[in-house]
Every structure is written in structure tokens, then in C-alpha cells.
Amino acid sequence: MSDLKPPPSSRPTQTPDAKEAKGGATPPAPPLPPLLSTPVQPAPSDRPIILMPPGEDHVAIAEAERILADIGEYFHMGGQLVRLAQKAGATKIEVLNEHTLYVILSAMIDWRQVSASV
């Protein structure tokens, strides 16, 4: 037979008696705040609104490009959209990928889908 013993556990085990000796049961969690009775309305936005009628995506894209160009922080370089960014105390060129561009445009513009009139 081997004399191997399981390693001691990293946490000390407490028996119910030891827990009670330290001050009793753990206190209950604080109650959650009550739910709002009325939904919160968003504040009026100063962001530009781009309407997106069916089949007119190219117009919405051109308008979004114009808004980005007016800001002056985004540039076209080598077929990619870039911006200047401060990283580690130095100014570097940051290439914007699809996901970053999506976040930027979503934060800057209110996009409105327009239904086709019948």
C-alpha cells in the first residue's frame, strides 16, 4: 500500500460551529433598488440624422462620409480610413477597421430606416 495522502486544501474548512463562533450567519445581501415605474426617455440629440430609404444606401454612405470629413479627425490613406491617435506618448496612425468605424458612426449619427411607401 502507498502512503500517499491527498494534498491539503488551499482553503480552510469551517464547520457550522466554527462559523457561528465567529459571529453567526452571514448578513443578507442589500435589497435591489425598485424598478422605475416609467421608462427613461432619451434626451434630445444634437447628432445629425441620416434617413435610409430602401435602395438608397449609397446616399446614406455619402452623407456619413461627409460628416466624418467635416470633423477633420479621419483621413483616407492608402485605400484605408485612418486617424491620428496618441499611444504611449507618441502620435501614431491608427487604421480603422469595420468594427471601430461602426462604433464611431453609431455614436455620431442617428440612423433612421425609412419604410417604402406603397
**Are 62 and 107 a contacting pair, CB within 8 Å?**
no
Distance CA 93, CA 55 (A): 35
List the chain pLDDT tens, one digit each, 118 residues: 555 555 555 555 555 555 455 556 777 766 655 554 444 444 556 888 899 889 888 999 899 989 888 888 888 899 999 988 888 888 899 999 999 888 888 888 888 888 876 5
* pTM for the whole structure: 0.52
